Structure 1
Amino acid sequence: MALESDWPGPPVQVIGMGMETGALGQAARAALDQAELIVGAAAHLAALPALSAEKRPYPSPMSGLWAMLRANAGRRIALLASGDPLFYGIGSTLLRHLSPTQLVFHPNVSSLQAAFARLGRPWQEAEWLSLHGRPLVSLRAALRGNRLYGLLTDRESSPDAIARILVETGFGESDMWIAEELGSDRERLRFIKAAELADAPLDCAPSNVVMLDTRGPGGVLPEFPGIPDQRFSTGAEPGKGLLSKREVRLTILSLLGPRAGEIGWDVGAGCGGVSVEWARWNSQGQVYAVEVHPERLEHLAVNRERFGAVANLQIIAGRAPEALAELPDPRAV
């Protein structure tokens, strides 16, 4: 998407609201005082009753935000965000349209940062993952044993759904902390074991984040390249079927040398032995798995989900070379 090079108005002010009403820096307060249009969630707008600017809620769906901004480009605009707008926030969306010189970001304390403060654990030790608006099975791509995670959630990726994934993947002994309604008078931090939560779901507030320490034998998800053959779905007995064998896959991956941002094609992907590992171990690349056989496509989809490669492995049902015509050019095939 091309950036807007002729944005006619002043830079858009993007203001993180933080955990508490009034927890804004001087520059953020000045931006709000000078704004002519303030756009935000209803709760954030309600926290600013004294400001005289026009206030509008974010459009639904959010894809309408750019049209709203463009129609008001000559005004001083402030957008309200939660926490740090550049941490899994609205900042990424805005930067698809506007350059950093056309935006001014005012970060605040994020929900995960606040949650780790409540827990009393150093948050630089954690791995971060947003499940908000993303498939829950993408968690499978990130899980490793004996790791600390901070997770942004949504209604589909609820604490009990996360717990079930942990149990399924051999991490039922994991410690979980659920931080709810942070910054409000309803704030709550609860501890529970994953297996307990999977068996008896808790009634959690919709606004929550999850922290977890993975514990347990694991053994279901790979932690290093070279997924055992028997873990793949092929329609045959474990370790058999149309699947590039483990030693061959490791050789192929070594020769490919995948790097972030690169595109690869796996033509005649079969059940996905190469393409699944390729995508799983290069999460910032894109892999296109081309296969024509219906049964193999079925197992390819199962393996894609089983190993969590749902974000960057695209399955193309068709026969080469016709199925390749619309794909982006690859670095490796």
Structure 2
Amino acid sequence: MDKINIIGMGPGSSKYVLPVSREIIEAADMLIGSKRYIDDYCSDGQKSIVLDSNYPQVVEYLKGNMGSERIAILVSGDSSFYSLTTYIKKNIDVGNLNIVPGISSLQYLFSRIGISYERTLLTSLHGREEDFWERSLEFDNIGILTDKKWSPERIAKEIIRRKLDFKYIYVGENLTYENEKVSRMTMEECLDFETDNINAVVISND
């Protein structure tokens, strides 16, 4: 029986989609993902569902069609890091899933700035709240997926307010695209930093 494929689509540019992921996408009968992914990857003869707030309906579709269709769900970044995979696993047995990894934007950003992330707290503030600040003292770095609410400026303010011992903040914008920008600032310098881009942030002393 064909398993449901959950594909990590990487940090942005299609150049960073793994070859095995492309093979699964091309062979699929049904693609499920954001409008951008459907527009970019859905071919003639393939069916598609655009993801928005329709998660329960998508799960019902998966339950009714797994095994009879080759289904590929396209998720941003790495499929096992703050992705739709967690929700799907709550509703469908993991034995029915083929989870294919992708390069996360944080993994990419650490490579771009030349910092290893063995002793790094990796987390997400993208559409969520999490109080990880005290726990961060146990780590050398913090890697954060952000959104417009949790801007780099707000993160820097929080670090200064809590008097956490981190010197620098790296902000990655439009990662992997031609207009990619990576900025390195002190926390104080970041208080004047403005961007409209959803980005990835690394906090470090390097």
Give the distance between the partners of 1:159 and 1:30, measured in 2 at CA: 37
Answer yes or no: is the 8 Å Cα contact 2:168–2:185 preserved in 1: yes
Instruction: Answer with 181-190 or 110-119: which moved more.
Output: 181-190
5 Å matches for 1:20-39?
A: 20-39=13-32
Correspondence for 1:203: 195
Classify the secondary structure of the residue corresponding to 1:123.
Answer: coil
Counterpart selection for 1:116 from 86, 110, 119: 110
TM-score by length of 2: 0.86
For residue 201 of structure 1, report the CA deviation from its aligned partner: 3.6
Shift in CA distance, 184/54, structure 1 to aligned 2, threshold 3 Å: same
Give the structure 2 partner of residue 162 of structure 1.
155
Rounded to whole Å, the distance in 2 between the matches of 1:108 and 1:102 is 19
- The root-mean-square deviation of aligned C-alpha atoms, in Å, is 2.4
* One-letter amino acid matched to 2:168: D
Q: After TM superposition, give the deviation of residue 22 of structure 1 in Å.
A: 4.6
2:140 to 147, 157, 169: 147
Change beyond 3 A, Cα 1:210–1:24: closer
The 1:52–1:181 alpha-carbon spacing in structure 2 relative to 1, beyond 3 Å, is farther
Alignment partner, residue 189 of structure 1: 182
1:72 is displaced (CA, Å) by 4.0
Q: Percent identity?
A: 23
Query: Out of 81, 93, 99, which is 2:93 matched to?
Result: 99
- TM-score, length of structure 1 as denominator length: 0.55
Q: Contact 1:13/1:105 (CA < 8 Å) preserved in 2?
A: yes
Q: Deviations over 1:259-313 (max 9, x none)?
A: xxxxxxxxxxxxxxxxxxxxxxxxxxxxxxxxxxxxxxxxxxxxxxxxxxxxxxx
- Deviation of the 1:49 alpha carbon: 5.0
Counterpart of 1:287 in structure 2 is: none
Matched, 1:125 2:116: no
Q: Take 1:168 and 1:15, find their aligned partners in 2: how far apart are those partners?
A: 39
48-57 vs 87-96, which deviates more? 48-57
Q: Does 1:83 align with 2:77?
A: yes
Q: Provide closer, same or farther for how the CA distance between residues 31 and 24 of structure 1 changes in structure 2, counting only shifts above 3 A.
A: same
| Partner AA of 1:94 in structure 2 | I
Q: 1:168, 1:187 → 2: CA distance?
A: 30
Question: What is the correspondence of 1:230-249 to structure 2 with a 5 Å cutoff?
Answer: none
State the distance in 2 between where 1:25 and 1:196 align: 37
Structure 2: 5+ residue runs without aligned partners? Answer: none
Distance 2:188 2:56 in 1: 38
Query: Max radius of gyration: which structure?
Result: 1
Is 2:160 the partner of 1:174? no
Aligned match of 1:134 in 128, 132, 145? 128
For residue 177 of structure 1, report the CA deviation from its aligned partner: 0.3
8 Å contact kept, 1:144–1:214: no
SS of equivalent to 2:79: coil
> Is the 8 Å Cα contact of residues 172 and 194 (structure 1) preserved in structure 2?
no
Higher strand share: 2
Q: Provide the rounded CA distance (Å) in 2 between the counterparts of 1:179 and 1:123.
A: 16
Give the match for residue 302 of structure 1: none
Separation of aligned partners in 2, 1:153 and 1:123: 18
Structure 1: distance between partners of 2:162 and 2:187: 11
Q: Does structure 1 retain, via aligned residues, the 8 Å contact 2:119–2:139?
A: no
1:65 corresponds to which of 43, 58, 61: 58
Q: Is the 8 A contact 2:8 2:100 kept in 1?
A: yes
Q: Secondary structure at the match of 1:127?
A: strand
Aligned to 1:331: none
1:42, distance to aligned residue in structure 2 (A): 1.8
Distance (whole Å) between structure 1 residues aligned to residue 2 and residue 53 of structure 2: 25
Offset of residue 116 of structure 1: 0.5
Q: Distance in 1 between matches of 2:18 and 2:184?
A: 33
Structure of greater relative contact order (alpha carbons < 8 Å, 6+ residues apart): 2
| Long gaps (5+) in structure 1 | 1-8, 216-333
